[in-house]
Structure 1
Amino acid sequence: MSTLRIGAAAAAFGRDLDFDLRRIGTLVDHARRSGVGLLVLPDAALGGYLADLRHPDPDALPPALEPDGPLIGEVARMAAEMVVCVGYCEADGDDRYNSAVCVNGDGVLGRHRKVHQPAGESIAYRAGDGFTAFDTPVGRLGMLIDYDKTFPEAARSLALGGAEILACLSAWPTSITNRAPRMAQDRQSRLFDLYDCARAAENQVVLASSNQTGALGGMKFLGQAKVVGPGGEVLARTWSKAGIAVAEIDPAAEIAKARRVLSHLAERKPAAYA
């Protein structure tokens, strides 16, 4: 048995990169004191997300950062022995991507560019083109960003690539088209939780879901960070508040237990899906 403490963070981030780095440092320190080996920070933790999802202001976009630049290096230094996933706006020449990077003190372990784009996000970012699982000191991981987890094929492709843990990094807001008087009644709040549990259960993997909190421009973010087991059960959560949801689990053992009788990946019928 090899247990792992997984932390999924809910916190607010904005355009001030110095502030964002300090907040990341605080979250890493808190996670380390809790014995966390894998910490999943929100999407756009470095530089913040869009202030308007439908009509992004081209002059007020998040700062575009080099994928091997000093800020990513600083997060890796903070991580040290811990594995940390963090989201940022990636610069690639004149193009921008909504990206995530997984690091520890040795450097970059994996990267992902968000593939699925909602509403007006394509005005601000180019889309990524694939999903790749990768090995880390805490197991084989795959990363999803925001809207990616709406699509079963995205998580399934990572699971088929051997990912035991899905790190889902989000800057997921309340509904912008159908405002609810209370968070509990919000459509996007319900979907956020539904997708987290469904993606874990249908692939029989562990899922760590981070999200932003607070507000930026017209966007109000949900929080609701959580760790989900391979049966779709929520092991720890922050609800709508800022904080870190921490759960201790043996991913390999729990996945083997979940797949002992019904193994969804092994029992697929790909020829029937065309």
Structure 2
Amino acid sequence: MNNDKQRKVKVGIVQHFFSDDIDSNRSRNLAAIQNLADEGAELIVLSELHDSLYFCQTENVDNFDLAVEIPGEFTDIYAEAAKNSGVVIVTSAFERRAPGLYHNTAIVFEKDGAIAGQYRKMHIPDDPGFYEKFYFTPGDLGFEPIDTSIGRLGVLVCWDQWYPEAARMMALRGAELLIYPTAIGWNPDDTDDEKMRQREAWITVQRGHAVANGIPIVSVNRVGYEEDPTGDTSGIDFWGSSFVAGPQGEFLMKCTEHAAEDRVVEVDLQRSENVRRWWPFLRDRRIENYHGLTHRFLD
């Protein structure tokens, strides 16, 4: 771990649209990784389930064929990219753990291509257009940060980003940066006002995690319209808007809602130390009174 007073890390964001051509998706991701590394990125984050279209719009057993082995071809490809580019990469995969047992898994690669660690998505949604419970078993690796050469990463995935408990657990275990690979969008039939409320709520809650824990966050969404293959719904229009925020929730970078973007932004990890001195939320927690948090509801 780097303990220098200046702890600035250049973070690369890959906000892409996707097709049903896995090889094409991978090629564009790899090109983006190399381009961002050439621009000085030291950490590169991809969006959720970036190998394919967002298949969870429907419940279809054939979609389990999209799952990959870990380790396997998927990890070999991104391990080589990390090694060749000399960057830490956060990827997202549909993991086939065993016959009939699948996870939504983030894999982090070190600069030398080694797998630094992985996180299995804990909170699994089941909503119209987001039928993830059909595909994914909830994670069993806990909320454990992943140590890398550029810092300790608190990697979570999409639906996890609505839960302050997940962010807090990562922070309490020493995460220096919260990272959220994401696939979230609008129902095209919603009104413009409702669309804006949904996106602003998504942004606000994550900025709140940054503030409450005094650490930066990186949230990377996919972008573009993806139709419902059954035709039962109007599909999903993924709203992009990937962003990086500092430990007071301040925007350091924000992408557009409509276009693919590859961006680099500098994040000062040392700033968290100063912010936590000014706002010592961890010091003032009344941990002796939080027992109810382990209950589903308090009647």
| TM-score over 0.5 (shorter chain) | yes
Say whether 1:23 aligns with 2:28.
yes
Paired position in structure 1 for 2:285: 268
Q: Name the SS for the 2:239 alignment partner.
A: coil
Q: Is residue 225–residue 244 contact of structure 1 (8 Å, CA) maintained in 2?
A: no
Identify which range, 144-153 or 184-193, moves more after superposition. 184-193
Q: Is residue 186–residue 195 contact of structure 2 (8 Å, CA) maintained in 1?
A: no
Question: How far apart in 2 are the matches of 1:41 and 1:162?
Answer: 23
Paired position in structure 2 for 1:84: 89
User: How many residues end up aligned between the 2 structures?
Assistant: 269
Say whether 1:132 aligns with 2:147.
no
Q: Which amino acid aligns with 1:70?
A: E
Q: Which amino acid aligns with 2:109?
A: V
Q: Name the SS for the 1:96 alignment partner.
A: strand
Question: How far apart in 2 are the matches of 1:36 and 1:13?
Answer: 23
Kindly report which structure 2 residues correspond to 1:116-127, keeping only aligned pairs within 5 A, or say none.
Answer: 116-119=123-126, 120-127=131-138
Per the normalisation by structure 1, the TM-score is 0.92
Question: How far apart in 2 are the matches of 1:158 and 1:38?
Answer: 19
Question: How far apart in 1 are the matches of 2:12 and 2:283?
Answer: 29
Paired position in structure 2 for 1:57: 60
Q: Is residue 222–residue 238 contact of structure 2 (8 Å, CA) maintained in 1?
A: yes
Identify which range, 123-132 or 43-52, moves more after superposition. 43-52
Q: Is residue 152–residue 174 contact of structure 2 (8 Å, CA) maintained in 1?
A: yes
Say whether 1:201 aligns with 2:223.
no
Kindly report which structure 2 residues correspond to 1:185-224, keeping only aligned pairs within 5 A, or say none.
Answer: 185-217=195-227, 218-224=235-241
Work out which of the two has the higher radius of gyration on C-alpha atoms and give 1 or 2: 2
Q: Is residue 214–residue 272 contact of structure 2 (8 Å, CA) maintained in 1?
A: yes
Q: Name the SS for the 1:259 alignment partner.
A: helix
1:273 Cα offset (Å): 1.4
Q: Name the SS for the 1:68 alignment partner.
A: coil
Identity of aligned residues (%): 28
Match of 1:239 among 239, 256, 260: 256
Q: Deviations over 1:58-111 (max 9, x none)?
A: 234571101111221111111221011011100011211111111133311120
Match of 2:106 among 84, 96, 100: 100
Say whether 1:69 aligns with 2:76.
no
Q: Name the SS for the 2:55 alignment partner.
A: coil
Q: Deviations over 1:221-267 (max 9, x none)?
A: 1111111100101101112132134221220x210111112222232
- Label 1:13 to 1:106 Cα distance change in 2 as closer, same or farther (>3 A): same
Paired position in structure 1 for 2:231: none
Q: Is residue 162–residue 206 contact of structure 2 (8 Å, CA) maintained in 1?
A: no
Paired position in structure 2 for 1:115: 122
Note the residue ranges of structure 2 that are not aligned, 5 or more in a row.
1-5, 228-234, 292-299
Q: Name the SS for the 1:214 alignment partner.
A: strand
Question: How far apart in 2 are the matches of 1:58 and 1:191?
Answer: 33
1:51 Cα offset (Å): 4.8
Q: Name the SS for the 1:258 alignment partner.
A: helix
Q: Deviations over 1:140-182 (max 9, x none)?
A: 0011111001000001100011000111100112147x71237
Q: Name the SS for the 1:72 alignment partner.
A: helix
Question: How far apart in 2 are the matches of 1:220 and 1:169?
Answer: 17
Note the residue ranges of structure 1 that are not aligned, 5 or more in a row.
none
Match of 1:10 among 11, 15, 18: 15
